[in-house]
Amino acid sequence: MKADLRSGDGPEREGLRSILRQWDVPAPPPEIEEDLRRTFGRRRAKGRPVLWLTLAAAAVLAALAVWRVEVGERAVTPASPERPVAAATPIRPAPTVERARSRHPDSVMAFPVQRPRRPGPAPREAEVVVEPGQGRLLAELEGKLRGVRQAAPGTSIPWIADGPADQPATIAAAEAADVPRYEGEWETVEAEWPYVHRSRPTGGR
């Protein structure tokens, strides 16, 4: 019997198998395939609401984000209808090259040559709205800054020791690293605001 189980070729097993073959089973009915098609379709349709819900949630989130940005912008602008006390328009600095050339027509300066601008409509400049009280603060700040030395571009201001007002201030020796590689005289153009520091052309060049 053991050989019969292992190999499956024993005569007893063959006899049993021939008997078992007398019960034939039909092929699966086609309705199963149709049912499975419907199941597949339902499953696909079940996935669609999830997609639509995701898209709807994304749209709501986007709308919320836009709404928050708009609310934030409204909070920045003055809520009260009070008119601003001052409205300053920043002065555009004049072209320094043109001005320098007009002052020193014979000097050969390394300023880049600017092309003459084509006549056209000037771009509108943004209006600076000053809140009530800010105008006074800005005026005070401007007054304080008038007496403060400003460093030339690329340099640092040497440290100035505090002392009595009637004695001249002691200026520490500037380090070598602080000294600009080019030595020249600098001038402050007070006619412009904010002030412009530029090198004064020397005759040795």
Partner 1 sequence: MSALPRVGTDEELLRATADGDEEAFLEIYRRYRDRVYRFAYRMTGSADAARDVTHTCFASLLESPSRYDGRRAGLGTYLCTAARNQSLRHASQGWRERPAGTLPDLRQGGGPGPLERVLEDERARIVRKALSSLAPLHREVLILAEYEELDLATIAEVVGAEVGAVKVRLHRARRKLRAVLEVHVRNGALSVE
Nearest CA among 137, 105, 118 for reference residue 201: 105
- Distance from C-alpha of 179 to C-alpha of 58, rounded to nearest angstrom: 59
Q: Which is nearer to partner 1, 4 or 192 (CB)?
A: 4
Cβ at position 55, least distance to partner 1 in Å: 18
Q: Which is nearer to partner 1, 44 or 146 (CB)?
A: 44
Give bridge partners of residue 199 from the DSSP assignment. Answer: 186
Q: Which is nearer to partner 1, 11 or 116 (CB)?
A: 11
Cβ at position 75, least distance to partner 1 in Å: 48
Contact criterion met (CB below 8 Å) for 163 and 169: yes
Where along the sequence are the contacts to partner 1 (CB under 8 A)?
Answer: 1, 5, 8, 12-13, 15-20, 22-29, 31-33, 35-37, 39-41, 43-44
Q: Which residues contact 13 (CB under 8 A, 6 or more apart)?
A: 4
Q: Which is nearer to partner 1, 29 or 120 (CB)?
A: 29
Cβ at position 36, least distance to partner 1 in Å: 6
Cβ at position 52, least distance to partner 1 in Å: 16
